[in-house]
Structures are given as C-alpha cells and as structure tokens.
Amino acid sequence: MIIDVNVSLSRWPNRRLPLDETSKLAATLIQNGVSQAWAGTFDGLLHNDLAAANKWLVDQCRSVDEKLLLPFGAINLSLPAWEEDVRRCHEFHGMKGVRLLPGYHDYTLEDPRFRQLLSLLAEKQMLLQIAVRQEDPRTQHRLLMTKDVDLKPLLTLLSDFSNLPVILLNAVSGSAVELHGQLVAAGKVYFDIAALEGLAGLERQVQSLPFERLLFGSHSPFFAFDSAKLKLQESELPAQSTEQITHLNALKILREL
C-alpha cells in the first residue's frame, strides 16, 4: 500500500511529460500499488484564474477515481482575493488541503499574507503543502528561473500553529539538515522523499529526521515514479519504518484533521 503525497496533473509549462494525461498517470500509479495520490496541478504555476484551475483539478480527479486522486488546490498569495480560493477549496470542493508554489508566485514566507493563510487553514482544519522547488535550478528555462523557498521564516511561525500539518515537498537535501530538524521539533512538519539523491539516501535521511515525519512522494509525472519506489526497494529499513513512510504517516495526518 502506497500513498503518494506529491503528484501533479496537467502539463508542465515548457515541455511535454510522458504521463501528463490524467488517465495515463492514474494507470501508472495503480500499476505500482498506489492506493491514493495527493494531486496538485501544474496549472497553478502560471495561471491567474486559480478558481478555474482548481475546479479543473477536481473534475480530473473525479473523472478517474475519487478514491485514487485526492485534489489539493493551488493558492497564490500574490493574487487578490486568495482567501476566496481557500474558501472554495474547502467549502465547494471539500479538499483536505492546499498547495503553495511560492517560487513561482513571487513571495516569501515572511509575507504577512502567509501568516494569514496559516491562521485560515488552522481554522478550517486543512493541511498545507509547500513546494520548496519544482525543478532543479540547473535545468530551468531561463524565463522561468525560481529559487528554492527559504524555510527559515516558517520556523518562527510554527509555535503559533503547532497543530497545523505542513508538508514540505521536494525539500530534503544535505544542505539544510539542521534547519529541517528544527522544523520537525517545532511543529507538525513532514517531508516527502521525492528529492532524495544518492546511494542509501533514506538511511542517511533518517539519521536527521524521524520516520514519523517522512512521506512517500514521487513528484510524478515530472519525475519518473520508479525513482521514488526504488529508493525504498534499495534501502535496508525495517519493515515497520517502510510502512510508516509509504502510507501510515499519511493516514495519520488525514485522521487528525
């Protein structure tokens, strides 16, 4: 059983991906034992009408299997009336959470609107996903250059939102081990494994982050799904720890909402 917390529907802005059609992505997920995938939309990167983009996302998830694809709406704090988009995600679409893309939407986590969002999500008992990066800076299109999200401001905010689950997507790296440990200690912060690189990546990661805060994420279809699955297959983790990463931790997050 696998719950993939990091997939996206629609098309990447500057090139076609092999599984950028919802039906093909869904078939691949099912073939690889995924029982549920938390899906955002690549349309959230550049579209200004996020209400329409999020409605399309919901319709796509329902067109395949409501139990397989769980939609996470895109919220852009730089757009007017972003609070209305949060309300629509919660009240109209019944979403469990939303996904932020700060690198593409040109704001930092120091922005006062980010604190307002945290307060709104805590009130509505929704979880938050933050895409720390979507693409390696070395391969980015020159007109779509973005920096990784600076997570330091999040650390000072977590004490006021200790019960709000925050999932950091594509965030794990060897350069921020100390900060990641501090984030985990300060609140309900989780990391997916999509960006892990190198041999024995999981074994190295659990030396600084507890199993309870790691989630299975593939970043499909931008990354090949097999990349995430092989990280588990090649690891020498205990069976219980593997189960926590593949689905138990994600189930716990949903139960506690």
Q: What is the pTM of this model?
A: 0.96
- Describe the strand order of the beta sheet including 97-100 as a list of residue ranges: 73-75, 97-100, 127-131, 166-169, 189-192, 214-215
Residue by residue, pLDDT tens for the chain (257 residues) are: 999 999 999 999 999 999 999 999 999 999 999 999 999 999 999 999 999 999 999 999 999 987 999 999 999 999 999 999 999 999 999 999 999 999 999 999 999 999 999 999 999 999 999 999 999 888 999 999 999 999 999 999 999 999 999 999 999 865 678 899 999 999 999 999 998 876 556 777 777 789 999 999 999 999 999 999 988 888 888 889 899 999 999 999 999 99
CATH topology of domain 2-255: TIM Barrel (3.20.20)
- The helix or strand, by DSSP H or E, that contains position 4, with its residue range, turns out to be strand 2-9
Tokens 């999020």 locate to 54
